[in-house]
Structure 1
Amino acid sequence: MPEHTPARVRLCSHCDGFASAKVTLGGRDCHGHLRTITAHCPACHGTGTGSTRPATALVSTGR
């Protein structure tokens, strides 16, 4: 039987699909947990996928 190949997802060229990361701020809170923040990729806004719009659609035009 033939194997079906899943459709390829278009990944963000800036983060290669790893759109969010937890970054420790150093130190711990009063409960002993590490203080972290979530950093999102600025190009894909944390989605991990590339834009489906053509590059010309991203340029704003003025009068």
Structure 2
Amino acid sequence: MPENPAPRPICAYCDGFPTVAITTGQTTSTGHRQTITADCPACRGTGHTHLARAHARIGA
């Protein structure tokens, strides 16, 4: 049985809630609130971050 890959860490900026709906304060012709969606800029709407890469110093 293959092993599951390690889970990616949750984004620290959005805590795993990458997309939100924001009301504009206006209503549509049917009476519903008009909303827009916004994605987290840090994780680009995925909810997860990439693992930090290790930097190696080469030379003296």
Question: TM-score, with normalisation over the residues of structure 2?
Answer: 0.69
Structure in which a larger fraction of residues adopt helix? 1
- TM superposition outliers: structure 1 runs of 4+ over 6 Å: none
Question: TM-score, with normalisation over the residues of structure 1?
Answer: 0.66
Q: How many residues align?
A: 50
Give the number of the structure whose alpha-carbon radius of gyration is greater: 2
Once the 2 structures are TM-superposed, how far is the Cα of residue 54 of structure 1 from its aligned partner? 2.1
- Correspondence 1:1-63 to 2 at 5 A: 9-52=8-51, 54=53
Consecutive unaligned residues of structure 1, counting only runs of 5 or more, are: 1-6, 57-63
Q: 1:31 to 1:16 in 2, by over 3 A?
A: same
Consecutive unaligned residues of structure 2, counting only runs of 5 or more, are: 1-5, 56-60
